[in-house]
Amino acid sequence: MAELILHHYPESPFSEKVRAIFGAKGLAWRSLQVPMVMPRPATIALTGGYRRIPVLQVGADVYCDTALIAEYLDDKGTGPTLYTAGQVLAAQTLARWVDTELFWAAVTLRFLPENMGSFFTDPGAAQAFAEDRANFAAGAQVRRPPVDEAQARYARFLAEMEAQLSDGRPYLFGADPSIADFAVYHMLWFIHAGGGMADWLAARHHAAGWMERMRAFAQHSGAPISPDEALSVAREAEPLAIEQLSDIPDLPPGTEVNVAPVDYGVMPSHGTLLRCDTHTIVIRRDHALTGAVNVHFPRHGFGVTRGD
């Protein structure tokens, strides 16, 4: 297996999910730290437009969205699967709810003045972030809840989480962490990173203990890699051979398509469709900086349309 290269930035909650999975699986990885705001020329050259962070690069294959990245990593490294038979439906459903509904509550809570911490180093960085995210939100089909609604949503979730863990289980669904644990972890990590809501978690003994167990997974840093080195890795590698098929009759393999999230950050990636099924969408791209690459997206939460 080629090196695992994570395009991320330290404050990114979804990146923290992947960093924790690396630790749980005992996987070595390379760290390509990108700016919190655009531009990110090396990453965009690989994805073709998709600008959410993180992105996982493995040679000349690029994996977008942490739901798909987690599935890709599941059989790598060591440790039990994140998708235990008999728990998959419940764990995946919780993970998807956390990554969408709880995420927007988390954004509201994280950016409360008393919970900002050191998120921005200076007023200029705050202004640049606001302008960047306004552009990112263009065309979004989501709603960010007001403070009182976000607080109520999070309080209810914490109460239910505390009850779930009260029988002594170490993780949400039993003895081993599942994909749901990592989804919940990165959201709580984000909410509490500013320190202003520490008492919310400290008051819940079982949830606080779970948080410390999960936090231990994310303590191993990746070895740094530069953007130029990452692009060189892509150029020197061959993308994986993909069995070509499409479950959309009007978009057979070989069609030029656009692939984009359907909820927010809807900037599309353009390429040639290789595969579209109930699980993944894969396109082939060619760029002077990268050579030929495959870009992989989950089918859930993404749409594909004709792009020529």
Predicted confidence (pLDDT) per residue in 110-167, tens digit: 999 999 887 877 777 878 888 888 888 888 888 899 999 999 999 999 999 999 999 9
Q: pLDDT below 50 — which residues of the chain?
A: none
Phi-psi region of 52 (alpha: psi -120 to 50; beta: other; left: phi over 0): beta
Q: So where are the chain's domains?
A: 4-78+222-306, 88-218
Phi, psi for 302 (deg, rounded to 5): -130, 150
Please report the pLDDT score of residue 163 as a whole number: 98
CA 294 to CA 57: how far, in whole Å?
A: 10
End-to-end alpha carbon distance in the chain: 34
Does domain 88-218 fall under CATH 1.20.1250.20? My reply is no
Q: Sign of dihedral through CA atoms 197, 199, 200, 204? A: positive
Phi, psi for 197 (deg, rounded to 5): -120, 30
CA 238 to CA 187: how far, in whole Å?
A: 35
Which amino acid type is present at position 155? A
In a 10 Å sphere around its CB, with 0-12 CB exposed, 13-18 middle and 19+ buried, how is residue 116 labelled? Answer: middle
Does domain 4-78+222-306 fall under CATH 3.40.30.110? My reply is yes
Closest CA to 259 of 302, 215, 205, 211: 302
The DSSP output letter for 174 is: B
Please report the pLDDT score of residue 122 as a whole number: 72
**What are the distances in angstroms from CA 193 to CA 64, 118, 174, 190, 196?**
25, 9, 26, 5, 8
Element (H, E) at 5: strand 4-8
Would you say the CATH fold of 88-218 matches that of 4-78+222-306? no
Phi, psi for 134 (deg, rounded to 5): -65, -40
**What are the distances in angstroms from CA 208 to CA 54, 159, 189?**
26, 12, 11
Q: Across the strands, what pairs with 306?
A: 257
Q: How many residues does the chain have?
A: 308
Please report the pLDDT score of residue 157 as a whole number: 98
Residues 119-148: b if buried by 16+ CB within 10 A, e if exposed: ebeeeeeeebbeebeeebeeeeeeeebeee
